[in-house]
Amino acid sequence: MTELLYLPNVDAAYERTFTARITALPPGGVVLDRTLFYPTGGGQPCDLGRLSLPGGVELAVEDVSRSGPAVLHRLARRASPVEGLAVGAEVRGTIDWGRRHRHMRLHTFQHLLSARLFAVHGTRTRKASLGGSGGLLELEGPWTAPTDTPPLVDDMAGYLARDLPVSVRLLPRAEYERSPGERSGLVPLPHQVDPVRVVEIEAADRCPCGGTHVRRLGEIGPFRIDPPRVLSGRVRVTFTLPEASTPTRPS
């Protein structure tokens, strides 16, 4: 089992380095007892970065995925065995902060967009995927008119300008069920999930989620929302956050 160091609160997503112990070495990969690397899932791509071994060897992490309760860090192929790469060894991990922060901004923006589409139009988000500098929502409901886009952009810009805080909390299931938030999550919450990790944008949204998020909406920066399109009978909307510099105060 791998402890997820980015999980407990919103500040944890701002950490960039960590130490951990190697617990398994499946072919091409490393399993650690704890990690800051986000594994691909929930529409959010994985973190990338590097692992430093005690002897000074640096290994590039090329992919991160879940394998049951463990997180698998896939390494670049090497022709010869790596000195110091052994079960029990302590490693120092460093995540690619530019990529991580981009995913945080995209993910929080997606939550707000899904919340506003639901609040204003009653439209639910069926599926969301993030990648590069943008994201895609697959919607269920009445929002199809391209003329709806400018008011939505104004509405979103108003929320970002208010710089509302974002929190991440682990709530006992029973407490979560008493006030689960207005829009349902992307998928029904399995019965065994307890506690529930709730991401809340003050005065705007409350949603169960395992992803990484920014502390305040003002951190998201400029954005673009494209007019909705209907593909294969589904309404889709895409958004883009132009590349922004990383914040000067990461933690």
The footprint of Zn ion (CB under 5 A) covers: 209, 211
58 contacts: CB under 8 Å, gap ≥ 6: 50, 51, 52
Q: How far is the CB of 209 from Zn ion (least distance, A)?
A: 3
For the bound state, the minimum distance from the C-beta of residue 114 to Zn ion, rounded and expressed in Å, comes to 9
CB atoms under 10 Å from CB of 96, counted, come to: 16
Query: Closer CB to Zn ion, residue 45 or residue 211?
Result: 211
- With respect to Zn ion, which residue has the nearer C-beta, 6 or 20? 6
Count of helices and strands (H, E) across the chain: 3, 16
Tell the smallest beta-carbon distance from residue 9 to Zn ion (Å).
15
Of 59 and 111, nearer to Zn ion (C-beta) is 111
CB of 120 to Zn ion, least distance (A): 20
CB of 44 to Zn ion, least distance (A): 7
Query: Residue with CB nearest Zn ion?
Result: 209
H runs (alpha helix) in the chain: 97-121, 149-161, 173-178
CB closer to Zn ion out of 42 and 141: 42
Q: Is 222 exposed, middle or buried (0-12, 13-18, 19+ CB in 10 A)?
A: exposed
* Nearest-angstrom CA–CA distance, 106 and 108: 6
Residue 105, phi then psi, degrees to nearest 5: -65, -45
Between the alpha carbon of residue 21 and those of residues 26, 80, 81, 200, the distances in Å are 15, 22, 19, 33
Strand partners, 198: 169, 208
- Closest to Zn ion by CB, 53 vs 241, is 241
Provide the minimum distance between the beta carbon of 192 and Zn ion in the complex, in angstroms, as a whole number.
19
CB of 100 to Zn ion, least distance (A): 15
Residue (148 or 205) nearer to Zn ion, CB = 205
C-beta closer to Zn ion: residue 72 or 198: 198
Cα-flanking dihedrals φ and ψ of residue 137, to 5°?
A: -110, 135
Identity of the residue numbered 84: G
